[in-house]
Amino acid sequence: MRRNSLCGVLLCGAVAAGAQAQVRLDSQIANLADDLVVANRILYSQGVVDGFGHVSARSPVDPGHFFMARSVAPSGVTQSDIMEFDADGKALAGDTRLPYAERFIHSEIYRARPDVMAVVHAHSPAVIGFGITGVPLRPVYHMSGFLGRTTPVFEIRDAVPAAPETDLLVKNPALGAKLAERLGRNAVVLMRGHGFTAVASSVPVAVFRAVYTDQNARIQSEALKLGTPRYLSEEEAALTQRTMEGLSVRSWEMWKKQAGLPP
Ligand code: MN
């Protein structure tokens, strides 16, 4: 009542609407942070990440920002570990916790790809062979149509020709930009002698792609021992992607349960 005496009906209405909008945004961010916690646990439980690897999500409030855990093992990530970063991969003012060294994978992909809302980076052993031999990672079954015709490989030596000897980590914005360039319009980029990065329009679909990139790599490696695989055609890849990614929430719920999380 006291508030009403201080402002006109219209102004008070605007304040109330503003407060409501803020609550909506806060709950959107809380949901996203929760998705990131679940994503970390799933990726660990499914063997895609181990003590290393990370997953991020673009901010629904400020599209130039993104959220990602501080530098901890994915298996133990909780909501309180989630940090917010700006477009340059800098933690928001006041947050002095240690971030992942490779956060520039995420910041530069978000900069280059406005359509990308989530990024997973991992080192799963099954994909490494495809980054180091020149054998292209291609979709072998209906779960991995998002791989399209083939998967690009990021050669870090080509990114820094003047000083090609590195620790292979993408730990500055320039390397992140080169990785994003190699990713192009694809869903997945392999990183020679290191791992891969998968992108998507949501956290659950990014996790779906990361898990099935790993599985495709395992199946393809086995198939290559048996003979010459018959890969999905580009059209089959596109059609299966549309069907299966539309059902990705089913995997998300199942993997969540497998990771020991409540529904
Ligand atoms: Mn890495």
- Domain assignment present for 160: yes
pLDDT along the chain (263 residues), means of 10: 44 74 86 97 98 97 97 97 98 95 98 98 98 98 97 98 97 98 98 98 98 98 98 98 95 97 92
How does strand 188-191 pair with strand 195-200? antiparallel
What's the CA-to-centroid distance between 134 and ligand 1, angstroms?
20
- Domain assignment present for 208: yes
**Residue 78, domain CATH:** 3.40.225.10
- Catalytic residues, by residue number, are 102
What total number of domains does the chain contain? Answer: 1
Those residues with Cβ within 8 angstroms of residue 194's Cβ, 6 or more apart along the chain or in another chain: 123, 128, 131, 156, 168, 169
What's the CA-to-centroid distance between 109 and ligand 1, angstroms?
15
- Domain assignment present for 4: no
Residue 87's domain spans which residues?
Answer: 10-258
Whole-angstrom Cα distance, residue 140 to residue 237? 9
CA distances from 160 to 54, 156, 168, 178, 192 (A): 24, 7, 11, 9, 14
What's the CA-to-centroid distance between 257 and ligand 1, angstroms?
27
What confidence score (pLDDT) does residue 23 get? 84
- Domain assignment present for 75: yes
- Domain assignment present for 263: no
What's the CA-to-centroid distance between 168 and ligand 1, angstroms?
8
What's the CA-to-centroid distance between 195 and ligand 1, angstroms?
7
What's the CA-to-centroid distance between 115 and ligand 1, angstroms?
23
What's the CA-to-centroid distance between 122 and ligand 1, angstroms?
6
What's the CA-to-centroid distance between 221 and ligand 1, angstroms?
22
Judge if pTM exceeds 0.85: yes
What's the CA-to-centroid distance between 203 and ligand 1, angstroms?
19
Q: Which of 171, 168, 134 is nearest to 151 (CA)?
A: 134
- Domain assignment present for 84: yes
Which DSSP letter does residue 142 get? G
What confidence score (pLDDT) does residue 1 get? 33
